[in-house]
Amino acid sequence: MSPTLCADVVCRRVGLNRIDDLLALEDACFPTDRAKRRNLRRLLLSPSAYCVAAYLRGDVVGSMVVLFRSNSGVARVYSLAVSHAARGLGIGRRMMAGAEREARRRGCDRMRLEVRMDNIPAIRLYESLGFVDTQVLPGYYEDESHAFVMRKELG
Ligand SMILES: CC(C)(COP(=O)(O)OP(=O)(O)OC[C@H]1O[C@@H](n2cnc3c(N)ncnc32)[C@H](O)[C@@H]1OP(=O)(O)O)[C@@H](O)C(=O)NCCC(=O)NCCS
Protein backbone atom coordinates (compact mmCIF):
# COMPACT_ATOMS: atom_id res chain seq x y z
CA MET A 1 0.00 0.00 0.00
CA SER A 2 1.36 3.42 -0.90
CA PRO A 3 1.47 6.40 1.50
CA THR A 4 -1.20 8.13 -0.62
CA LEU A 5 -3.60 5.33 0.16
CA CYS A 6 -3.01 5.92 3.86
CA ALA A 7 -4.66 9.32 3.49
CA ASP A 8 -7.79 7.45 2.42
CA VAL A 9 -7.94 5.54 5.70
CA VAL A 10 -10.80 6.62 7.94
CA CYS A 11 -10.98 5.71 11.65
CA ARG A 12 -14.37 5.68 13.35
CA ARG A 13 -16.45 3.86 15.92
CA VAL A 14 -17.50 0.44 14.80
CA GLY A 15 -20.63 -1.53 15.53
CA LEU A 16 -21.88 -5.09 15.53
CA ASN A 17 -22.40 -5.08 11.76
CA ARG A 18 -18.61 -5.42 11.25
CA ILE A 19 -18.03 -8.17 13.81
CA ASP A 20 -16.98 -10.73 11.16
CA ASP A 21 -14.37 -8.36 9.74
CA LEU A 22 -13.04 -7.61 13.21
CA LEU A 23 -12.75 -11.33 14.05
CA ALA A 24 -10.97 -12.00 10.75
CA LEU A 25 -8.49 -9.23 11.53
CA GLU A 26 -7.89 -10.69 15.01
CA ASP A 27 -7.26 -14.11 13.48
CA ALA A 28 -4.71 -12.67 11.08
CA CYS A 29 -2.94 -10.51 13.67
CA PHE A 30 -2.76 -12.49 16.91
CA PRO A 31 -1.20 -15.95 17.35
CA THR A 32 -3.06 -16.51 20.66
CA ASP A 33 -5.44 -14.66 22.98
CA ARG A 34 -7.82 -13.73 20.17
CA ALA A 35 -11.16 -12.22 21.07
CA LYS A 36 -14.01 -14.72 21.05
CA ARG A 37 -17.15 -13.76 19.15
CA ARG A 38 -19.24 -13.59 22.31
CA ASN A 39 -16.74 -11.37 24.08
CA LEU A 40 -16.32 -9.07 21.10
CA ARG A 41 -20.07 -8.81 20.70
CA ARG A 42 -20.38 -7.75 24.32
CA LEU A 43 -17.68 -5.11 23.85
CA LEU A 44 -19.27 -3.76 20.68
CA LEU A 45 -22.52 -3.26 22.57
CA SER A 46 -20.99 -1.79 25.73
CA PRO A 47 -20.94 1.98 26.34
CA SER A 48 -17.79 1.52 28.42
CA ALA A 49 -15.86 0.07 25.46
CA TYR A 50 -14.63 2.45 22.78
CA CYS A 51 -14.37 0.25 19.68
CA VAL A 52 -12.84 1.77 16.56
CA ALA A 53 -12.13 0.44 13.10
CA ALA A 54 -9.81 1.82 10.45
CA TYR A 55 -11.41 1.53 7.02
CA LEU A 56 -9.83 1.67 3.62
CA ARG A 57 -12.44 1.94 0.89
CA GLY A 58 -14.93 0.11 3.05
CA ASP A 59 -12.55 -2.65 4.12
CA VAL A 60 -11.56 -2.97 7.77
CA VAL A 61 -7.75 -2.68 7.96
CA GLY A 62 -7.40 -1.84 11.65
CA SER A 63 -9.18 -2.13 14.97
CA MET A 64 -8.83 -0.92 18.52
CA VAL A 65 -10.75 -1.44 21.75
CA VAL A 66 -10.29 0.86 24.75
CA LEU A 67 -12.01 0.05 28.03
CA PHE A 68 -13.28 2.57 30.55
CA ARG A 69 -14.66 2.04 34.03
CA SER A 70 -16.82 4.33 36.05
CA ASN A 71 -14.98 5.81 39.02
CA SER A 72 -11.63 5.05 37.39
CA GLY A 73 -9.27 7.55 35.78
CA VAL A 74 -7.53 4.81 33.82
CA ALA A 75 -8.27 4.06 30.17
CA ARG A 76 -7.14 0.56 29.20
CA VAL A 77 -6.11 -0.13 25.62
CA TYR A 78 -7.43 -3.67 25.40
CA SER A 79 -6.68 -4.42 21.78
CA LEU A 80 -4.96 -2.84 18.78
CA ALA A 81 -4.40 -4.43 15.37
CA VAL A 82 -3.55 -3.37 11.84
CA SER A 83 -3.72 -5.75 8.88
CA HIS A 84 -0.35 -6.90 7.53
CA ALA A 85 -0.85 -5.07 4.23
CA ALA A 86 -1.57 -1.76 5.96
CA ARG A 87 1.25 -1.72 8.54
CA GLY A 88 3.90 0.97 8.79
CA LEU A 89 1.66 3.70 7.44
CA GLY A 90 0.70 5.42 10.66
CA ILE A 91 -2.67 3.73 11.18
CA GLY A 92 -1.77 2.29 14.60
CA ARG A 93 -0.46 5.68 15.68
CA ARG A 94 -3.61 7.36 14.43
CA MET A 95 -5.89 4.98 16.31
CA MET A 96 -3.86 5.44 19.50
CA ALA A 97 -4.16 9.22 19.15
CA GLY A 98 -7.92 8.68 18.98
CA ALA A 99 -7.75 6.53 22.12
CA GLU A 100 -5.98 9.31 23.97
CA ARG A 101 -8.51 11.91 22.80
CA GLU A 102 -11.35 9.70 23.97
CA ALA A 103 -9.62 9.06 27.31
CA ARG A 104 -9.26 12.80 27.91
CA ARG A 105 -12.83 13.41 26.80
CA ARG A 106 -14.00 10.93 29.43
CA GLY A 107 -11.91 12.62 32.11
CA CYS A 108 -9.18 9.97 32.45
CA ASP A 109 -5.74 11.00 33.63
CA ARG A 110 -3.90 7.76 32.78
CA MET A 111 -3.75 5.07 30.13
CA ARG A 112 -2.50 1.52 30.47
CA LEU A 113 -2.05 -1.53 28.29
CA GLU A 114 -0.41 -4.92 28.24
CA VAL A 115 1.98 -5.97 25.48
CA ARG A 116 4.02 -9.08 24.80
CA MET A 117 7.60 -8.48 25.88
CA ASP A 118 8.86 -9.53 22.43
CA ASN A 119 6.42 -7.42 20.42
CA ILE A 120 8.94 -4.83 19.26
CA PRO A 121 6.71 -2.96 16.73
CA ALA A 122 4.00 -2.42 19.34
CA ILE A 123 6.44 -1.49 22.13
CA ARG A 124 8.16 1.05 19.84
CA LEU A 125 4.79 2.52 18.93
CA TYR A 126 3.72 2.87 22.56
CA GLU A 127 7.10 4.27 23.63
CA SER A 128 6.94 6.85 20.86
CA LEU A 129 3.60 7.95 22.29
CA GLY A 130 5.00 8.38 25.80
CA PHE A 131 4.10 5.02 27.37
CA VAL A 132 6.65 3.51 29.76
CA ASP A 133 6.83 -0.06 30.98
CA THR A 134 6.11 -0.25 34.67
CA GLN A 135 5.60 -3.92 35.45
CA VAL A 136 6.07 -7.44 34.12
CA LEU A 137 3.21 -9.95 34.17
CA PRO A 138 4.83 -13.41 33.98
CA GLY A 139 2.95 -15.97 31.86
CA TYR A 140 0.19 -13.46 31.11
CA TYR A 141 -0.73 -14.84 27.67
CA GLU A 142 -2.33 -18.17 26.71
CA ASP A 143 1.04 -19.45 25.48
CA GLU A 144 2.56 -18.39 28.81
CA SER A 145 4.66 -15.60 27.34
CA HIS A 146 5.22 -12.59 29.53
CA ALA A 147 3.71 -9.12 29.24
CA PHE A 148 4.87 -5.63 30.01
CA VAL A 149 2.33 -3.33 31.56
CA MET A 150 2.87 0.07 29.95
CA ARG A 151 1.40 3.28 31.30
CA LYS A 152 1.07 6.87 30.25
CA GLU A 153 0.11 9.85 32.39
CA LEU A 154 -2.13 12.26 30.53
CA GLY A 155 -0.94 15.76 31.40
C1 LIG B 1 1.64 -2.86 16.49
C2 LIG B 1 0.81 -2.42 15.27
C3 LIG B 1 -0.62 -2.13 15.70
C4 LIG B 1 1.43 -1.13 14.71
O5 LIG B 1 0.54 -0.62 13.73
P6 LIG B 1 1.09 0.21 12.47
O7 LIG B 1 -0.08 0.88 11.84
O8 LIG B 1 1.91 -0.65 11.61
O9 LIG B 1 2.02 1.29 13.20
P10 LIG B 1 2.37 2.74 12.66
O11 LIG B 1 2.58 2.71 11.19
O12 LIG B 1 1.37 3.71 13.18
O13 LIG B 1 3.79 2.99 13.36
C14 LIG B 1 3.92 3.90 14.42
C15 LIG B 1 5.25 3.66 15.11
O16 LIG B 1 5.32 2.34 15.64
C17 LIG B 1 6.65 1.84 15.56
N18 LIG B 1 6.68 0.68 14.66
C19 LIG B 1 5.67 0.25 13.86
N20 LIG B 1 6.06 -0.88 13.21
C21 LIG B 1 7.31 -1.12 13.61
C22 LIG B 1 8.25 -2.16 13.31
N23 LIG B 1 7.96 -3.16 12.45
N24 LIG B 1 9.45 -2.15 13.93
C25 LIG B 1 9.75 -1.17 14.83
N26 LIG B 1 8.92 -0.15 15.13
C27 LIG B 1 7.71 -0.14 14.54
C28 LIG B 1 7.48 2.98 15.02
O29 LIG B 1 7.91 3.75 16.14
C30 LIG B 1 6.47 3.76 14.22
O31 LIG B 1 6.80 5.08 14.06
P32 LIG B 1 7.66 5.56 12.75
O33 LIG B 1 6.88 5.05 11.56
O34 LIG B 1 7.67 7.03 12.86
O35 LIG B 1 8.98 4.90 12.85
C36 LIG B 1 0.84 -3.51 14.15
O37 LIG B 1 2.18 -3.88 13.91
C38 LIG B 1 0.04 -4.76 14.48
O39 LIG B 1 -1.17 -4.82 14.27
N40 LIG B 1 0.71 -5.82 15.02
C41 LIG B 1 0.02 -7.09 15.33
C42 LIG B 1 -0.95 -6.94 16.47
C43 LIG B 1 -0.28 -6.37 17.69
O44 LIG B 1 0.81 -6.74 18.04
N45 LIG B 1 -0.99 -5.44 18.37
C46 LIG B 1 -0.53 -4.83 19.59
C47 LIG B 1 -0.93 -5.66 20.76
S48 LIG B 1 -0.38 -4.95 22.30
pLDDT in tens, 98-150: 999 999 999 999 999 999 999 999 999 999 999 999 999 999 999 999 999 99
Q: Is residue 50 part of a domain?
A: yes
Q: Could you tell me which of 64, 62, 66 has the C-alpha nearest to residue 74?
A: 66
- Residue nearest (by alpha carbon) to ligand 1 atom 27: 121
- CA-CA distances (angstroms) from residue 27 to 49, 81, 104? 20, 10, 31
CA of 125 to the centre of ligand 1 (A): 5
CA of 119 to the centre of ligand 1 (A): 9
What total number of domains does the chain contain? 1
CA of 120 to the centre of ligand 1 (A): 8
Query: Which CATH number is 33's domain given?
Result: 3.40.630.30
Q: Is residue 17 part of a domain?
A: yes
**CA–CA separation, 125 vs 116, rounded Å?**
13
What pTM does this model have?
0.96
* Crossing angle of helices 37-45 and 19-29, rounded to 10°: 130
**CA–CA separation, 133 vs 125, rounded Å?**
12
Q: Is residue 154 part of a domain?
A: no
